[in-house]
Amino acid sequence: MTQHRTVDVGGSHLYRITIGPGLLDDGALLAATLRGDAFVVSDDAVAPLYLQRVLDALSAARPGLRIGHWTMPAGEGSKTLATFGQAIDAIASAGMRRDATVYALGGGVVGDLAGFAAAAWMRGVDCVQLPTTLLAMVDSSVGGKTAVDLPQGKNLVGAFHPPRAVLADTAALRTLPARELRAGLAEVVKYGAIVDAPFLDWLEANADALLAGDDAALAEAIARSCAHKAAIVERDPYEHGDRALLNFGHTFGHAIETSQGYGGLIHGEAVAVGMVQAALLSERLGLSSAADTARLRGLLRRFGLPVEPPPGLDPDTLLAHMRLDKKAQSGGLRFIVWDGAGRARVLAGVPESEVRAVLAG
Ligand code: NAD
Ligand code: GLY
């Protein structure tokens, strides 16, 4: 029998993250928190691979269950208010009631949009996250942040809506394009960078296995990442404090994504570049050493990730996006900086001149 790993998220919203191969076919687990109807949201790359299996497994576990489903175009460009409106239309047309559960089957884009639809439909119905990318398994499916992007900035419209359960079927990673696997590794590196220096040693030692899609290495990386995310979210579900550490590299990264109109670097890649820029900023501020930055850069490079911003981005535009990023507050630019591996913190009032110097390379 295959052993599944579990990580429990405590605090005011308790739920379990289950990690292991074959979970998308496990009707009993899929339906464990289900109270009424089911509605599965996916995208047009994931649905042909996994949607029917989830529908079959749910129907087998709950004969007579009313199940609706809806599929959106794949990619960050779909994470819009317009697509959100279409999702709500589909949920309404399917007659989903207050005790319905929305299942988010896909990567972080589906998870964020379907989670937001679940938060908004009838002022909130249950959501179960079924992440199919590494990035979604280690980050976006956990913690209840849901949102869509605006042309002005990423994730600017959304809600906190914790899932009732997260089922990460690691076998789904076998169909994930290599570029997407690498992007997920950026968020895995983030946990080492912010709170777990020994995890960086482990990632360096296991880089080849992770890149080769080794099941055991990936399961370990996912479980360890989820344990960190669960601990942080449990302490600070609404990001009044520590949770902001999870945004290491994101102020720079989001500005790149927005400047590129959500059609250039994918999220994990932008975060990889952003983490190096955050390390360079920390170095400029005298908080960390050039060796710290070099180590981070080296690991991200080993994972095939970009470590420098794409050419041609305008620093003024990037700074304008940073000012509107949710990490910014009225008191000026706020960044997640580090004092070296595993020691990140929030720093407010960072002078724009220092940020400009980093952007200027
Ligand atoms: P994504 O959802 O766009 O998925 C990447 C691509 O892989 C898509 O084309 C998708 O169709 C495809 N895909 C997904 N699973 C597959 C599989 N198993 N086999 C084959 N193809 C598959 O991108 P992502 O990287 O998963 O998520 C990025 C999004 O997550 C961003 O919008 C980001 O803002 C968000 N995010 C949210 C949080 C949060 O806390 N809510 C945290 C981190 C990131
Ligand atoms: N990915 C950032 C957070 O969940 O807070």
Contact between 111 and 129 (Cβ < 8 Å): yes
One-letter-per-residue 3-state SS of 34-50: CCCCEEEEEECCCHHHH
Give 255-305 pLDDT, tens digit per residue.
999 999 988 999 999 999 999 999 999 999 999 999 999 999 999 999 999
Domain covering 5-175 assigned CATH 3.40.50.1970 in the classification? yes
The predicted pLDDT at position 327 comes to: 60
What would the pLDDT profile of 158-199 be if each residue is shown by its tens digit?
999 999 999 999 999 999 999 999 999 999 999 999 999 999
Give the ligand whose atoms come closest to the C-alpha of residue 177: 1
Residues forming beta bridges with residue 153, ordered by sequence position: 150
**Which whole number is the average pLDDT over 229-252?**
96
Query: Does 25 have pLDDT greater than 90?
Result: yes
Kindly give the distance from the C-alpha atom of residue 279 to the centroid of ligand 1, in angstroms, as a whole number.
25
Region 323-329: what's the mean pLDDT? 69
**Strand 153-160 versus strand 165-169 pairing type:** unpaired
**Does 321 sit in the ligand 2 pocket, CB within 6 Å?**
no
Q: What does the pLDDT look like over 107-135, one tens digit per residue?
A: 999 999 999 999 999 999 999 999 999 99
Where are the CATH 3.40.50.1970 domain residues in the chain?
Answer: 5-175
Nearest partner of 257 among 268, 244, 247, 248, judged by Cα: 268
Would you say residue 210 has pLDDT above 90?
yes
Mean pLDDT over 52-71 rounds to: 98
As a whole number of angstroms, the distance between CA 124 and CA 138 comes to 24
Residue 326 is predicted with a pLDDT of 61
pLDDT band at 239 (very low <50, low <70, confident <90, very high): very high
CA distance linking residue 10 with residue 33, whole number of Å: 16
What single DSSP character describes residue 309?
Answer: P
CA angle, corner 223, sides to 334 and 142, nearest 5?
50
Answer positive or negative: Cα dihedral of 277, 291, 232, 5.
positive
Q: Are 288 and 339 within 8 A, CB to CB?
A: yes
pLDDT confidence bin for 104, thresholds 50/70/90: very high
- Angle 120-263-229 (CA atoms, 0-180°, nearest 5)? 55
What the block records as the tokens of 98 is: 């207050």
Beta strands (DSSP E) in the chain are: 5-9, 15-20, 38-43, 67-72, 101-106, 126-131, 145-150, 153-160, 165-169, 335-338, 344-347
With beta carbons less than 8 A apart as the criterion, state whether 356 and 315 touch.
Answer: yes
**Per the confidence metrics, is the pTM higher than 0.95?**
yes
Instruction: Look at the alpha carbons of 192, 196, 200, 203 in this order and tell me if their dihedral is positive or negative.
Output: negative
Name 48's Cβ contacts closer than 8 Å, sequence gap at least 6.
Answer: none
Q: Is the CB of 310 under 6 A from ligand 1?
A: no
Q: Which CATH architecture has domain 206-359?
A: Up-down Bundle (1.20)
Span from the CA of 92 to the centroid of ligand 1 (angstroms): 25
- 159 Cα: distance to centroid of ligand 2 (angstroms): 12
Per the CB < 8 A criterion, the answer to whether 284 and 357 are in contact is yes
What is the arithmetic mean of pLDDT over 234-263?
Answer: 94
Ligand 1 in reach of 256 Cβ (< 6 A): no
Residue nearest to atom 40 of ligand 1 (CA): 140
Strand, coil or helix: 285? coil
Residue ranges in 121-212 assigned as alpha helix (H): 134-135, 178-195, 197-211
Q: CATH 1.20.1090.10 region(s) of the chain? A: 206-359
The answer to whether 43 and 73 are in contact (CB under 8 A) is yes
Ligand 1 within 6 A of 269 CB?
A: no
